[in-house]
Amino acid sequence: MGAIAALKGPAHGGATLAARNMLDKIGSAENAEKWLTDAHAKHERFSGFGHRVYRTYDPRAKILREMARTAAPDLHRTAARTEEIALKILHDAHPERPNATNVDFWASVVLTGAGIPKELFTTMFATSRVSGWTAHVLESLSDLRIIRPASRWIGPEPGRKPLQLAKR
């Protein structure tokens, strides 16, 4: 349940839906430049661009971009123009930041072309991960050890009382 709950919101599990909603707002290839320029001036994020970990153009996005060409030709045209302009705006604003297209951007176009309603995009994201989550559960059942990430305590020394709220 925790893994599924973590997918809520416009990042991660909801990123494909956010990218599709952005493309809906843009509406057409002809409107992409104006919409993106206006959105950037308002400091809005471009959904489907950048990633917390990956710093290059996602190779999965490259594959999906080609699939989108036949899956949803009209939407592909809008998305391709959007990608071109968004990458230029992002690079011009912050050349030091690697804001490449991520998998969610082109996945939104392919899922649309496959006839998946956008309200089900996050469900599709979760469904694709169920086998991995199940494998983790089965592995943990073999020895019932709790898996914790390596960490180092940086808080107050054990035994000390925490500061009262009013003194924090």
Say which residue the tokens 């998305």 belong to: 79
Which entry of 12, 40, 51, 143 is annotated as an active-site residue? 51
Alpha-carbon dihedral 62, 64, 66, 70, rounded to 10 degrees: -170
CA 115 to chain centre: 21
Q: What does DSSP assign to residue 59?
A: H
Beta bridge partners of 49: 101
Say which residue the tokens 């471009």 belong to: 46
Which entry of 43, 104, 136, 143 is annotated as an active-site residue? 104
Helix axes 59-71, 73-93, angle to 10 degrees: 150
104 a catalytic residue: yes
Q: What does DSSP assign to residue 43?
A: T
51 a catalytic residue: yes
**Residues designated as active site:** 51, 104
